[in-house]
């Protein structure tokens, strides 16, 4: 059975109403991507010098992933620490 596409929702209120009322098993959820919410306060700041071409590449990749480049850098650091390279 072909599943319905998800509707385009224009507000949080529309999304909440949709989830409360819809049977989500009827919808194609294959295009959904995980979202990470930044709730924890950041209490330290770091200045970092990078080569221009590296910063340009980081900014382009962050834009592709629809996030600010500083968040992209933070997530890359967190990921590197969660999965350290074998020695």
pLDDT for position 81: 87
Per-residue model confidence (pLDDT) at position 34: 78
H/E element, 20: helix 12-21
Per-residue pLDDT of the chain (87 residues; tens, 9 = 90+): 789 898 998 998 999 999 999 998 999 988 888 777 777 788 889 999 999 999 999 999 999 998 999 999 998 998 888 866 666
Separation between Cα atoms, residue 43 and residue 54, nearest integer Å: 26
Task: Answer yes or no: do 50 and 82 share one domain.
Answer: yes
* Whether residue 16 is found in the same domain as residue 55: no
Confidence (pTM): 0.54
Question: How many domains, in total, are found in the chain?
Answer: 2
Say what the pLDDT of residue 39 is.
Answer: 74
Question: What local confidence, expressed as pLDDT, does residue 85 receive?
Answer: 65
Range of the domain at 12: 1-32
């Amino acid at each position: 059975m072909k599943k319905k596409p998800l509707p385009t929702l224009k507000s949080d209120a529309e999304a909440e109403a949709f989830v409360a009322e819809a049977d989500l098993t009827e919808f194609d959820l294959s295009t959904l991507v995980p979202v990470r919410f930044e709730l924890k306060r950041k209490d330290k700041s770091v200045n970092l010098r990078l080569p221009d071409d590296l910063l340009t590449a980081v900014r382009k990749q962050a834009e592709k992933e629809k996030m600010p480049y500083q968040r992209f850098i933070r997530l890359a650091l967190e990921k590197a620490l969660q999965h350290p390279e074998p020695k």
